[in-house]
Structure 1
Amino acid sequence: MYALLILDIQVGLVHGPEKPWRGEALLKTVNALMDQARSAGAAIFLARHIGPVGSPIEPGSPLTMLAPELTLLGGEVVFEKRRPNAFEMTDLADNLRARGATGVVVAGMKTQYCVDSTCRAARDLGFDAVLVADGHTCSDTAVMKAEDIVAHHNATLDGPFCRLVRAAQWRF
Structure 2
Amino acid sequence: MATSALLVMDVQRSIVERFDRDGDYLPRLRGAIDAARAAGLPVIHVAVGFRTGHPEVSARNASFGRIATSGAFAEGDPGAAIHPDVAPRPEDVVVTKRRVSAFAGSDLDVVLRAGGIHGLVLTGIATSGVVLSTLRQAADLDFDLTVLADACLDDDPEVHRVLTEKVFPRQARVTTVEEWTTTLAR
TM-score under structure 1 length normalisation: 0.86
Q: How does 1:96-111 map to 2 (within 5 A)?
A: 96-111=112-127
Please give the alpha-carbon distance, in whole angstroms, between the structure 1 residues aligned to 2:88 and 2:31.
12
- Is 1:167 matched up with 2:165? no
Q: 2:78 aligns with which of 62, 76, 79?
A: 62
Cα RMSD over matched residues? 1.7
Q: Which runs of 5+ in 2 are unaligned?
A: 55-67
Residue identity in the other structure for 2:92: E
Q: Which residue of 2 aligns with 1:48?
A: 47
Residue 114 (str. 1) matches residue 130 (str. 2): yes
Partner of 2:20: 20
- Give, in angstroms, the shift of residue 168 of structure 1: 0.9
Deviation, 1:21, is: 4.9
> Which AA in structure 1 matches 2:73?
I
CA distance in 2, matches of 1:158, 1:19: 21
TM-score (norm 2): 0.80
| Greater radius of gyration (CA) | 2
Structure in which a larger fraction of residues adopt helix: 2
User: Residue 160 of structure 1: CA displacement?
Assistant: 2.1
Indicate the percent of aligned positions where both proteins have the same amino acid.
28
Distance 1:36 1:121 in 2: 26
- Structure 2 distance, partners of 1:148, 1:20, is 16
Distance 1:21 1:150 in 2: 15
What is the aligned partner in structure 2 of residue 127 from structure 1? Answer: 143
Q: Report if the CA contact (8 A) 2:19-2:153 is conserved.
A: no
Contact 2:88 2:94 survives alignment (8 Å): no
Maintained 8 Å contact 1:21/1:147: no
SS in 1 for 2:110: helix
In structure 2, C-alpha distance between the alignment counterparts of 1:107 and 1:89, rounded to whole Å: 19
* Corresponding residue for residue 4 of structure 2: 2
**Runs (5+) with no aligned partner, structure 1:** 140-145
Tell me which residue corresponds to 1:158: 168
When residues 36 and 152 of structure 1 are mapped into structure 2, their CA distance, relative to the original with a 3 A threshold, is same
1:142 equivalent in structure 2: none
Residues 119-169 of structure 1: CA deviation (Å, up to 9, x unaligned): 111111110111111110022xxxxxx221211110233332221111111
Query: Deviation per CA, 1:39-58, whole angstroms, max 9, x where unpaired?
Result: 11111100111253543222
Between the aligned partners of 1:56 and 1:71, the Cα distance in structure 2 is 20
Count of residue correspondences: 163
